[in-house]
A and B are shown apart, each in its own frame.
Chain A
Amino acid sequence: MRRLLVLALAALALDAQAVDFSKLLQAAQGSQAVNSVLGPKAAQLVTQENLQAVAQAKDAVIDISENDEIELGKGIAGNLLGAAPLLDDQGVQQYVNRVGRWVAAQSERPDLPWKFGVLDDGSYNAFAVPGGMVFVTKGLLMKMRNEAELAGVLGHEVAHVVQKHHLNAIKANARTTLMKNAADRYTNRSSNAELGKMLIASGTELLTRGLDKGDEYDADRVGVVFAARSGYDPFGLPAVLQTLQGVQSGDAGLALLFKTHPPLDSRLEALSASMAPLEKYDSQPNLEARFADKLGKR
């Protein structure tokens, strides 16, 4: 029992030499749809030994190397791309990558393998996964008026990655699951591959369940700083939030955004309280003309 738990934790440990976590994630990625494997049966037969194991799991520090983080992100991104295809337009995809890569280069994690993708989906949303993959829907992109607005939205998503919001939520989830497993001697049969799948499934679920609201306010506050550092008018993000306010609240394309984020009014209020130091950058360019040109607007 206890040996199994230790083995399970080893798969999540920083020491990736012991368990090839990347291979494990790749293996999990290749398998069929990773639906949630969280929430095993309720704990049974809580013995002294089980309690000890639970205590161990609770205290375990789950550390994931940067390479593991990147592999985990690929697994989650693969699922997202299975649900919404990439927009088939190389020009637009490369343009969004250039803006995003420039913004990410001004962050505290400038050297991650940043990749940006436009999803061919009419809803209004953007996503980030651990390791530096960021997505924006075509629906949201088409609501934007200039490059500074795009930089603001991408800055918010880059901030999630830099602050490791999703990664930390996935780790917290994994701890809970390991504790449950430890308490149940009959279901504690997790193989390493299953653990990898569990982390990917947990991260995928986060995309539609949402982060803590505090993480979203944090990403807004950090994202506008990244836009300002990149030389853009930093008021692009609040401009997009205002635009979304102007969309009829009955528009179904807003459903998932509303479910996973604080109300737009509250986000604007929080930005209003914190953005005063950025007002001096508001004459930086918004590159409306380049944006219109790259997106085929004349």
Chain B
Amino acid sequence: MKFALPLSLALLGSAAMAGETAWTVKATELKDKPYTDAGAVGTLAERSKVEVLARQASWTQVKAGNATGWVKMLNLRLDNPDARSGNTGVGALFNLARTGKSGTVATTGVRGLDEAKLASASPNGRALERMNGYAVGKEEARGFAKDGKLSAQDVARLGKGGKS
């Protein structure tokens, strides 16, 4: 394929998850397999620091001390809760170009699209036209889904849930 940025994409290889650090947001069972009814290897306290090894659907394999096992992905955060100063509003303050850690994050520090660019933009009718050429119909999408062995499911909308 002729994707424009082979170099950046190369950084996204199979090791994309390896070496990432995560923290538990609540006390969490460490399972020996990525299933709810799998046996527990141990329990991780809230705010345990773990190393991310792999991911499978709603489960993440982690290494905590000498133990390895699976925890529910939504019990993990990939930013340090103790260092968190609120994600909002930070954006307006920084212009630093930070380097990614251990080669797994191809950060450039480029701000990219922002208010100033959008406010001064002239409408691009040609690009709108090009998008028409890329669009696909429902039938084509259905064939594409079939190729991927995706089957449509009847799933109801979610409520907000019991927890905060």
Of A98, A270, A290, the residue contacting B140 (CB under 8 A) is A98
Q: Chain B: interface secondary structure? A: loop
Tell me whether B108 and A253 are in contact (CB under 8 A): yes
A-B CB contacts (within 8 Å), total count: 319
A228-B101 Cα distance, complex, nearest whole Å: 33
A245-B128 Cα distance, complex, nearest whole Å: 32
A21 an interface residue at 8 Å Cβ cutoff? no
Of B4, B55, B87, B96, the residue contacting A87 (CB under 8 A) is B4
Of A224, A230, A270, the residue contacting B150 (CB under 8 A) is A230
Of A78, A94, A229, A242, the residue contacting B154 (CB under 8 A) is A229
A284-B16 Cα distance, complex, nearest whole Å: 21
Tell me whether A233 and B98 are in contact (CB under 8 A): no
Tell me whether B127 and A256 are in contact (CB under 8 A): no
B65 an interface residue at 8 Å Cβ cutoff? no
Tell me whether B92 and A282 are in contact (CB under 8 A): no
Which residues of chain A from 208 to 225 have any CB-CB distance to chain B below 8 Å in the complex? 208, 217, 221-222, 224-225
Type the 1/0 row for A138-158, where 1 means its CB is closer than 8 Å to any CB of B.
Answer: 110011010100000000000
Q: How far is the CB of A180 from chain B (nearest CB, A)?
A: 21
A138-B3 Cα distance, complex, nearest whole Å: 10
B residues lining the A interface (CB < 8 Å): 1-6, 8-10, 12-13, 16-17, 20, 22, 25, 36, 55, 57-59, 73-79, 81, 84, 86-92, 94-98, 100-101, 105-115, 117-125, 127-128, 130-132, 134-138, 140-142, 144-145, 148-164
A residues lining the B interface (CB < 8 Å): 29-30, 32-36, 74-75, 77-94, 97-99, 101-102, 105-106, 110-111, 113-117, 119-123, 125, 133, 137-139, 142-143, 145, 147, 204, 207-208, 217, 221-222, 224-225, 228-233, 235, 238-239, 242-243, 245-259, 262-265, 268-279, 281-287, 290, 293-297
